[in-house]
Structure 1
Amino acid sequence: MSQPGLLKSGLRALRHAVERRRHPQRFILVDQTPWEEIFRDDIMSVRRYRLPAMDQITVDGEPVPVAGASARTPLLLVPALGIHAWTFDIMPNRSMVRYLMARGFDVYLLDWGRPSASQRDLHLDTYVNDWMPAAVRAVVQDSGASEISLLGYCMGGLLCMMYLGGHKDAPVANLVTIASPVDFHKSGAYGRLFSLVSVPALKAHAWFRLRLEPLDDSLFHIPANLLSLGFKLTNPPGVVASYLDLVRNISDRDYVTEYMTMGQWFNDMVDYPGAIVREVIEKMIIGNDIAGGHIRIGQRTARLADVRCNLLALAGSTDSIVTIRAARAVMGLVGAQDKRFEVVPGGHAGVFAGSKAPDHTWRLIADWLLPRSGRMRQRRPQPAA
């Protein structure tokens, strides 16, 4: 590069370095697809997305034609806990929401909201037996469909399974799970640790009736900043390598924008309610109840054998948090006749929203769902771009 070119590149790098510190919001492009709220209950809400009138969208530089018709079965996206719902719409050219709409789905999103320390007493019962049924009813009513499809990421997939296992009359035709840990004791090193801890813990429960339930929820509540730190500590070398890549590419504004936007996922997380953390420790990490085929949620017992809708379960090839074995366990538990398990490229975040996700995870989901979502019909009128 010529000397003037090096000077210009250096000035851009300096400008971007200062700007990302002083005005980071200029680089963060989350939640850009138009939507409207159709239902709310306390901090939980359901939104319906609208794709502006256009012939195609762009996903990582590649054009994706927008279907002129939509499937009769609408799709409700269910995020994990601890992250923002906009992870499904992380940035315009890496938006699962836009991709699925372009492929012909009417897309809705369940937003769990931002629980604070004052909501530390939120239990799985509220999420599974109150909010999930209410969200599904809202989508059915808004769309006019008799059944819907569910797509859950990580804990979102488990919440879908628990809901379906405890509500056998749920109007759900299809379920897609991405990186959902059905067998906690098979998740790599973490799983081995959980398995070792569970033996004495279960014996202590049997012998001395020791339970976590009497302990105050505040002892288990995980603030957003601590959750962010925990996720980063699962892969410290990756965090360092990613930052060094930013330093090398700081003069490229598009690169900085993608780095800042994707980083917002882990830099701006959401509190994990203490009551749910306690239940997860007791019922899933120690008891590994879901791997046993059933789990008690409130006054209901969710049985995976009662999950009879069509199932597509996906796992990341390099996911160290939810391993392939942990996710694959669902295949021997659900009662679905039409069920499929696939391994796709990526770690825990990459399998969902990484650079390879559109060509693998998203494409596989759309190709599997479309023939199971009813005859295509003309799309509803959309607002102009």
Structure 2
Amino acid sequence: MNAPLNFTAESLAQEAMQFQAKLRAGLDTLRQVEDVDYGATSKEEVWRDGRVVLYRFRGDKAPTAKVPLLIAYALVNRPYMTDLQADKSIVRGLLERGEDVYILDWGYPDRSDRYLELEDYIQRFLGGAVDHLRQASGHDAINLLGICQGGAFSLCYAALNPGKVRNLITMVTPVDFHTDDNMLSHWTRNIDVDQFVDTLGNVPADLMNWCYLTLKPWRLFVQKYVGLVDILDNKQAIEDFLRMEKWIFDSPDLAGEAFRQFIKMFYQGNGFVNGGVRIGEREVDLADITMPVLNIYALQDHLVPPAASQALGGLIGTTDYTEHSFRGGHIGIYVSSRAQREVPDSIRDWLRERDR
């Protein structure tokens, strides 16, 4: 006899047996899995300022691009998301297409970094890396790829130093922080960030992770772990899952003063749109960005909604502005199979047209 939900005692028993078989297979699989590693591509340190390090990636062949491409990632996560594993690496895709790729690693701030400001990150660290590459390559200006918060930093740097950036690429970069669908922005607009930073000093990574996870609580706290049962008998799938989990929870603390400034000027003040972004003694005006700009955004991005990125086109001064939309989310734009095909091609083709 069928129950109202169209299952029987026999089907429930069968499902329970299959579940137990998955768990038994999972025990065997987990015995084979060691600590997962990340970073598919070899790299070497070429410049350092304190704990901030500039790396050059080494591909299987020498780069054909003459102008270096510098990647600036966000502070809130580790930059190896761009080179997570061999088949999920935007970096590897760019190297295979001839780009000369560098990445800035912000490191793990400690209490001695509490008073670092946005000026330190943008003009000192990012600017120092740019100047090193300009000198090493013999070019007056380099190509800059800013990702997420690193994209906001790159916009500030390019506006303040337009002669040092030849081509600017932004990926999943927030520009208008007050779009209606930006839940993270709604949360932070009324926070007393002064009390927050004065109390905590540096902002703990675990607290930031909790905030991001609660944007999608069912998906990120429950569903993905329930779904883990389905792949327990697949060693490769388990390793991929653990590698992603390691990235999610391998987050640095955030320097308190820089966090205070970023929340006030961007999330609360919406400074790119309304004005009021000051880096040191200088005010940022996106109209001063006159170099070519490629803006890549993700259509299903819950952290940086498309409208938040698309606002860039109406604020910058360049006449050479290109948008590229990607079908995926904030993380999928780095690790999905679609991303491996589309994103490096889009960047390479766009740069080739302008670096001739």
Task: Decide whether aligned partners of structure 1 residues 153 and 196 sit closer, same or farther in structure 2, where only a CA change above 3 A counts.
Answer: closer
Q: Aligned match of 1:153 in 139, 147, 152? A: 147
Specify the SS of the correspondent of 2:325. strand
- Deviation of 1:351 after TM superposition, in Å, equals 2.1
One-letter identity of the residue aligned with 2:171 = I
2:53 is aligned to: 45
- 1:178 is the counterpart of 2:163: no
Q: Is the CA contact (8 Å cut-off) linking 1:194 and 1:286 kept in structure 2?
A: no
2:314 is aligned to: 332
Task: Decide whether aligned partners of structure 1 residues 187 and 107 sit closer, same or farther in structure 2, where only a CA change above 3 A counts.
Answer: farther
1:305 is aligned to: 287
Task: Decide whether aligned partners of structure 1 residues 49 and 190 sit closer, same or farther in structure 2, where only a CA change above 3 A counts.
Answer: same
Q: Aligned match of 1:141 in 135, 142, 145? A: 135
- Deviation of 1:192 after TM superposition, in Å, equals 7.1
Specify the SS of the correspondent of 1:169. helix
Q: Select between 7-16 and 336-345 the one with higher mean Cα deviation.
A: 7-16
- Deviation of 1:143 after TM superposition, in Å, equals 2.8
1:331-365 Cα offsets, whole Å, 9 max, x none, are 01111111012221122211233333112333322
One-letter identity of the residue aligned with 1:29 = D
- 1:369 is the counterpart of 2:347: no
TM-score of the superposed pair, with normalisation by structure 1:
0.80
1:89 is aligned to: 83
Q: Select between 339-348 and 151-160 the one with higher mean Cα deviation.
A: 339-348
- Deviation of 1:316 after TM superposition, in Å, equals 1.1
Task: Decide whether aligned partners of structure 1 residues 349 and 178 sit closer, same or farther in structure 2, where only a CA change above 3 A counts.
Answer: same
One-letter identity of the residue aligned with 2:234 = D
Specify the SS of the correspondent of 2:102. strand
- Deviation of 1:70 after TM superposition, in Å, equals 0.9
Task: Decide whether aligned partners of structure 1 residues 344 and 314 sit closer, same or farther in structure 2, where only a CA change above 3 A counts.
Answer: same
Q: Is the CA contact (8 Å cut-off) linking 1:16 and 1:253 kept in structure 2?
A: yes
Q: Aligned match of 2:330 in 342, 348, 357? A: 348
1:234 is aligned to: 215
- Deviation of 1:34 after TM superposition, in Å, equals 1.1
1:68-125 Cα offsets, whole Å, 9 max, x none, are 7611111001111111121221111111111100011011111111112331211101
Q: Is the CA contact (8 Å cut-off) linking 1:187 and 1:325 kept in structure 2?
A: no
One-letter identity of the residue aligned with 1:158 = A
Task: Decide whether aligned partners of structure 1 residues 227 and 192 sit closer, same or farther in structure 2, where only a CA change above 3 A counts.
Answer: closer
1:165-216 Cα offsets, whole Å, 9 max, x none, are 112332x11111111111110151527736974xxx9xxxxxxxxx966985
Q: Distance in 2 between matches of 1:366 and 1:298?
A: 34
Q: Is the CA contact (8 Å cut-off) linking 1:293 and 1:305 kept in structure 2?
A: no
Specify the SS of the correspondent of 1:29. coil
Q: Distance in 1 between matches of 2:172 and 2:210?
A: 20
1:224 is aligned to: 205
Q: Distance in 2 between matches of 1:310 and 1:292?
A: 23
1:40-87 Cα offsets, whole Å, 9 max, x none, are 00111111111135xxxxxxxxxxxxxx76111110011111111212
Q: Distance in 2 between matches of 1:230 and 1:7?
A: 34
Specify the SS of the correspondent of 1:272. coil
2:113 is aligned to: 119
One-letter identity of the residue aligned with 1:38 = V
TM-score of the superposed pair, with normalisation by structure 2:
0.87
- Deviation of 1:373 after TM superposition, in Å, equals 2.5
1:15 is aligned to: 28
Q: Is the CA contact (8 Å cut-off) linking 2:188 and 2:263 kept in structure 1?
A: no
- Deviation of 1:17 after TM superposition, in Å, equals 3.3
RMSD, matched Cα: 2.7
1:226-269 Cα offsets, whole Å, 9 max, x none, are 22222222212222332223211111111011111122221211
1:205 is aligned to: none
Q: Is the CA contact (8 Å cut-off) linking 2:172 and 2:309 kept in structure 1?
A: yes
One-letter identity of the residue aligned with 1:232 = L
Q: Is the CA contact (8 Å cut-off) linking 1:187 and 1:320 kept in structure 2?
A: no
Q: Is the CA contact (8 Å cut-off) linking 1:150 and 1:175 kept in structure 2?
A: yes
1:377 is aligned to: none
Q: Is the CA contact (8 Å cut-off) linking 1:94 and 1:353 kept in structure 2?
A: yes
2:16 is aligned to: none
1:383 is aligned to: none
Q: Distance in 1 between matches of 2:82 and 2:43?
A: 13
Q: Percent identity?
A: 31
Q: Is the CA contact (8 Å cut-off) linking 2:184 and 2:215 kept in structure 1?
A: no
Task: Decide whether aligned partners of structure 1 residues 13 and 109 sit closer, same or farther in structure 2, where only a CA change above 3 A counts.
Answer: same
Specify the SS of the correspondent of 2:337. coil
Task: Decide whether aligned partners of structure 1 residues 218 and 309 sit closer, same or farther in structure 2, where only a CA change above 3 A counts.
Answer: farther
1:107 is aligned to: 101
User: How many residue pairs were aligned?
Assistant: 338
- Deviation of 1:9 after TM superposition, in Å, equals 7.2
- Deviation of 1:30 after TM superposition, in Å, equals 0.9
Gaps of 5+ in 2: 1-18
Q: Distance in 2 between matches of 1:354 and 1:52?
A: 22
Q: Is the CA contact (8 Å cut-off) linking 2:72 and 2:150 kept in structure 1?
A: yes
